[in-house]
Amino acid sequence: MTAPARVSGRIRAGAAVMSAVLVLLAAALVVLFGISDAGAALLGVLGWLVALAARLPALASAGRLHDPDRSRTILAATSAVTDEVARLALVLVVAGGYIPALWAGFGWALAELVFVLAAHLARFSRPVGRRAAEQLRSEGGFVSTHPAHGGVRGITTTAFHLGASLLLATGSWWVLVTASAHVAVNLAFARGARRRLVAVQVFGAVVSAALLAAGLIASDLR
């Protein structure tokens, strides 16, 4: 099996694991909170798309830099801030209440993970070019395509967005906390995933768990 085929196969397996994680998390939300507010998940998807569009100016500016590491750092920081501003608008304007905010956070995570998987499959389903190979190295190399990585990423990403959405539903000032946490996680992956992927994943998991715990406590959903 060729290297591109192996990478593609592992990413597909990771997609299956991540899909299973998302299905189980959705089922847990339904069991715990019912489906009356589940439509807010669609608003979460829309919120993520708005946040993605808000990143475009930063993406264009970073793309003009000759230093790839500096470009990734700038994009990681700015996208984290724009994401949290967009999330704050979503939670305060559209998804009123803790349960809708929880579902909106799930929709946000779902949109992000589907986009990332689709981008990876499109990039590595054909012979890997120089830019794609460099992107893979920046994300931790071949080990980052392991199916277990997909499962861990699905859990930590969803936990982060659930927690951030709940915190913002309790008060807009929490955006300072969620934005700082988002910047820290993004920068950790942008700067450290190439050489210390496992350590970066552990850091992301700890931050995500802390955000989710804080959100549950602040919203009294624990």
Residue 214's closest CA among 176, 189, 178, 172? 178
pLDDT at 115: 82
Find the mean pLDDT for residues 208-222: 88
Local confidence band at 132 (pLDDT 50, 70, 90 cut-offs): very low
163 CB-contact burial (10 Å; exposed 0-12 / middle 13-18 / buried 19+): buried
Identify the pLDDT of residue 153. Answer: 78
Spatial neighbors of 175 by CB under 8 A, at least 6 apart, are 84, 85, 87, 88, 168
Query: Does pLDDT of 23 surpass 90?
Result: no
Question: pLDDT for 137-166, tens place per residue?
Answer: 444 443 445 666 667 778 898 999 999 999
Instruction: Please state which of the ranges 115-129, 143-157, 170-184 shows the lowest mean pLDDT.
Output: 115-129
Q: Tell me which of 4-18, 109-123, 171-185 is least confident.
A: 4-18
CA angle centred on 114, ends 110 and 117, rounded to 5°: 140
Least confident of 71-80, 170-179, 206-215: 71-80
N- to C-terminal Cα distance for the chain? 48
Question: How confident is the model at residue 42, as a pLDDT?
Answer: 85
The least confident of 88-92, 108-112, 138-142, 202-206 is 138-142
Checking if the pLDDT of 222 tops 70, the result is no
Note the pTM of the prediction, 2 decimals.
Answer: 0.81
Query: If pLDDT is split at 50, 70 and 90, which confidence band does 123 have?
Result: low
